[in-house]
Amino acid sequence: EQEMLARTAAFSAQPPTEALNEIMAGAWERERQLVENTIAENEHNRGSIRGGLFFKHYWKKQTEKLFDPAKN
């Protein structure tokens, strides 16, 4: 983070340049990697629906609707 701040400080008063575009592309790539790694690390932590039978059924259906728009 400090490295990125130091690299971008020089560009704050200038119009976008090729170097700034490279910095932005690198930042987007790092963010994409962070999101993918976080999802991969937590894939097994899906959790379970707790509560009474009615609420389990209700939330299971709501989750299905969320991930399958055709069911709406």
Report which of residues 37 and 49 the model is more confident about: 37
> Residue 6 belongs to what domain range?
2-71
Please report the beta strands in 5-64, taking only residues with DSSP state E, as ranges in sequence order: none
- Please state, in angstroms and rounded to a whole number, the distance separating the CA atoms of residues 35 and 32: 5
The stretch 3-21 carries a mean pLDDT of: 72
The stretch 5-30 carries a mean pLDDT of: 78
- Please state, in angstroms and rounded to a whole number, the distance separating the CA atoms of residues 60 and 66: 10
In a 13 Å sphere around the CA of 2, the CA atoms on its Cβ side amount to 0
Over 90: is that where the pLDDT of 30 sits? yes
Please state the domain count of the chain.
1
Q: Using the Cα atoms of residue 59, residue 34, residue 26 and residue 1 in order, give the sign of their dihedral.
A: positive
Q: What pLDDT, on the 0 to 100 scale, is given for residue 29?
A: 95
Report which of residues 47 and 67 the model is more confident about: 67
22 phi/psi in degrees, rounded to 5 = -65, -40
Q: What pLDDT, on the 0 to 100 scale, is given for residue 71?
A: 66
Whole-prediction pTM: 0.47
